[in-house]
A and B are shown apart, each in its own frame.
Chain A
């Protein structure tokens, strides 16, 4: 329900132009146009928002200011506070994180006979995977191929992807879909079994597989059910606050902290899989986020402190269509599938100002331009937004399409009195994804021996921008891979004496780098509590 007179006036313009707009196919921008647009309007290019790292493996490189503070923050413990001689847990494979990548890794490690355990700071399934709506890519149609998928992803990521990782992503994709299907994930299919697939921004073939607009939730709840069926221990409400190494310099476990009682525990492991996810809750540059409550870059901090390099940590993805109104859902994800199904981006004057299926970085920059220099945004309580003209979907595909294909979106706006079948919605870019992260090889291992990583915490698979549907894919492909590789490696590892000496070394580095900070990291949770005269 839109009661604001300016919004109501603008909606009239959108409605009046709808018949004409729906017949348009706005041309795609040229490479040069995109280049100028990104440099002028994309948040990644605001140099004052980045800081040079003074210490660590990426010394001299730039990262968002908020991340720099955490990467160069103080450990929460000293080595002396933890007794490493009597571990509370002793396993083959320790998986840190209970999202899609961590759960996939745990299932595959278990399948390979390992004694595997998951530790997660919230509940298993409290993860960005659960919130992924639109779909998962795989080149499995006759007019498509892994090579075409490679080209789309490589170009969409500005030709910066780590080639061996991208090769693995696209060639393992169909098998990832089959693995999920065989676990019971309900993909949208035609009666003859053909996958119903759509475009995402920047795809050249329709290869987006979906489970309505609950794609990630459907995958996550199935993986969670499978983890529980296998009786894989899940230590929940327990965060990892440091990695443990052995005297040979290999990763050999982690220091855990009960999130409620603050009790410290020690987990010893032959191999460790880092699957801690992203960083949206750091609210880079003050952006709202589509991420879950625990997305605070913990994995980057843990790995960096232990000596692992990061790749492209300065590249973030702002999803072009975060909800801009009402305030209660500010920043919540409006799936790209809304555009895949035919809704167009319309400015305050009712103009279709761009092709709705440009890549995410280009779309976000274009919306920011529309709402800033061009002055074509619609004022909202939090700033500005443009319209995403959802009623177009049913004009194109018939009544009932929205309820059948994007029920979560209908429900999310319906709770606030907006019927997306009849009324357009207001959107603005929201912090969505960490393109960069910990560098890995194609066997999933980081710079640190026996420390593997998978999921959003990894950098390099997508280059400098990720296409829709390649993240659900990467958590499955690289989550499975990390689980297989880590459990295989565990068979030949004998753990030496446990140590936290890298913490002392890190503290010395902080001192030598002239960094005097009161920031403790990893952050673990965002702080949203209002402090009103508290002690």
Chain B
């Protein structure tokens, strides 16, 4: 057993092994989690958590699944935060500056405090991607925000009441659908499939006995 540290969940003290993540420490303390627990591996954003270490005034944020406990850590989980999600029709919106003004006008109230960036559990430059969104530079906004897990901690800290993850979500969809270069070989292949080009080939394969399929599979040529 590794050394024990003192951790305070919602103000209440528990002693837990120092090797555990915050999520594991809650379970060690006896919590059966329903909220605030998803992929347990840093991809889903379910376990947004804020904490302070006694003696340090800085309020920190993290994902409980991928952050180790520390001695004298005061922890509060944020299993839900009411972000604003604008509803839109992806077929009808266009990647213009106006669409952000229309759907997320509050982004223009950003005061440049950088609290969002400081709070990001993924270490992203959140304020920068909001700046790109303000200017309608959706490709840059998409790239800068790509690793966002939508945990929402940035928005809890924002004096302008911006729902940053949702702004970035819109930017990425606009970029993926309208701005990214079109893939021609995909259209061509779908056209070929629809015209029945591969039917005979596939029927032939599906009709072959296993021994012949094994022969084909074991001797197939593998692209370098």
Residue contact A171 to B202, C-beta cutoff 8 Å: yes
Residue contact B185 to A131, C-beta cutoff 8 Å: no
Instruction: Check A184/B90 contact, CB under 8 A, given A145-B201, A199-B223, A531-B30.
Output: yes
Residue contact A193 to B182, C-beta cutoff 8 Å: yes
Instruction: Check A171/B198 contact, CB under 8 A, given A150-B205, A154-B213.
Output: yes
Listed stretches A45-53, A62-70, A120-128, A502-510; interface member: A120-128
Residue contact B206 to A222, C-beta cutoff 8 Å: no
When C-beta atoms are compared, the residue in chain A nearest to B34 turns out to be: A259
Q: Any chain B CB within 8 A of the CB of A263?
A: no
Residue contact B173 to A184, C-beta cutoff 8 Å: yes
When C-beta atoms are compared, the residue in chain B nearest to A186 turns out to be: B176
Residue contact B201 to A329, C-beta cutoff 8 Å: no
Kindly identify which residue among A131, A147, A163 contacts B198, using a CB–CB cutoff of 8 Å.
A147
State how many angstroms separate the Cβ of B182 from the closest Cβ of chain A.
5
Q: Which residues of B contact A228 (CB under 8 A)?
A: 85, 87
Q: Which residues of B contact A525 (CB under 8 A)?
A: 32-34
Residue contact A328 to B68, C-beta cutoff 8 Å: yes
Residue contact B190 to A174, C-beta cutoff 8 Å: yes
Q: Which residues of A contact B28 (CB under 8 A)?
A: 530
Residue contact A178 to B187, C-beta cutoff 8 Å: yes
Q: Any chain A CB within 8 A of the CB of B37?
A: yes
When C-beta atoms are compared, the residue in chain A nearest to B197 turns out to be: A145
Beta-carbon contacts under 8 Å, A339-376 to B: none
Q: Any chain A CB within 8 A of the CB of B149?
A: yes
Kindly identify which residue among A189, A218, A293, A407 contacts B37, using a CB–CB cutoff of 8 Å.
A293
Residue contact A415 to B202, C-beta cutoff 8 Å: no
Against B, the Cβ 8 Å flags (1 = close, 0 = not) of A216-260 are 111001100110110100000100000000000000000000011
Which B residues are within 8 Å of any A CB, using their own CB? 19-21, 24, 27-35, 37-44, 46, 66-68, 85, 87-90, 122-123, 142, 146-147, 149-150, 169, 172-177, 180-187, 189-190, 193, 198, 201-202, 205-206, 210, 213-214, 216-218, 220-223
Instruction: Check A181/B186 contact, CB under 8 A, given A328-B66, A411-B122.
Output: yes
Q: Any chain B CB within 8 A of the CB of A333?
A: yes
Residue contact A130 to B176, C-beta cutoff 8 Å: no
Residue contact A189 to B180, C-beta cutoff 8 Å: yes
State how many angstroms separate the Cβ of B190 from the closest Cβ of chain A.
5
State how many angstroms separate the Cβ of A173 from the closest Cβ of chain B.
9
Q: Any chain B CB within 8 A of the CB of A185?
A: yes
When C-beta atoms are compared, the residue in chain A nearest to B199 turns out to be: A171
Residue contact B34 to A237, C-beta cutoff 8 Å: yes
Specify which of A146, A175, A182, A183 lies most central, judged by the most chain B CB atoms within 10 Å of its CB: A146
Kindly identify which residue among A186, A217, A226 contacts B149, using a CB–CB cutoff of 8 Å.
A217
Residue contact A184 to B176, C-beta cutoff 8 Å: yes
Kindly identify which residue among B44, B149, B223 contacts A205, using a CB–CB cutoff of 8 Å.
B223
Residue contact B222 to A204, C-beta cutoff 8 Å: yes
Q: Any chain B CB within 8 A of the CB of A76?
A: no
State how many angstroms separate the Cβ of A480 from the closest Cβ of chain B.
14
Instruction: Check A183/B173 contact, CB under 8 A, given A140-B189, A231-B87, A329-B66.
Output: yes
Which A residues are within 8 Å of any B CB, using their own CB? 28, 30-31, 122-123, 125-126, 130-131, 138-143, 145-148, 150-152, 154-155, 159, 163, 167, 170-171, 174-175, 177-178, 181-187, 189-195, 199, 204-206, 212, 214, 216-218, 221-222, 225-226, 228-229, 231, 237, 259-260, 290, 292-293, 327-329, 332-333, 407-408, 411-412, 415, 525, 527-532, 534
Kindly identify which residue among A181, A214, A415 contacts B177, using a CB–CB cutoff of 8 Å.
A181
Residue contact B183 to A195, C-beta cutoff 8 Å: yes
Residue contact B201 to A147, C-beta cutoff 8 Å: yes
Residue contact A530 to B29, C-beta cutoff 8 Å: yes
When C-beta atoms are compared, the residue in chain B nearest to A259 turns out to be: B34
Instruction: Check A167/B206 contact, CB under 8 A, given A151-B216, A154-B217, A189-B183.
Output: yes
State how many angstroms separate the Cβ of A157 from the closest Cβ of chain B.
10
A-B CB contact pairs (8 Å), 28 listed: A131-B43, A138-B186, A147-B198, A147-B201, A150-B202, A150-B205, A151-B213, A151-B216, A155-B214, A170-B202, A175-B190, A183-B176, A185-B176, A204-B220, A206-B223, A214-B146, A214-B147, A222-B176, A226-B90, A229-B88, A237-B34, A259-B34, A293-B40, A328-B19, A328-B66, A408-B147, A411-B42, A525-B32
Q: Which residues of A contact B37 (CB under 8 A)?
A: 122, 293
Residue contact B176 to A229, C-beta cutoff 8 Å: no
Q: Which residues of A contact B186 (CB under 8 A)?
A: 138, 140, 174, 177-178, 181, 195
When C-beta atoms are compared, the residue in chain B nearest to A195 turns out to be: B183
Instruction: Check A181/B183 contact, CB under 8 A, given A122-B38, A147-B202, A221-B169.
Output: yes
- Other A-B contacts than A147-B205, A415-B42, A415-B67, 8 sampled, CB-CB below 8 A, are A122-B38, A140-B183, A141-B185, A146-B198, A151-B217, A193-B180, A525-B32, A530-B30
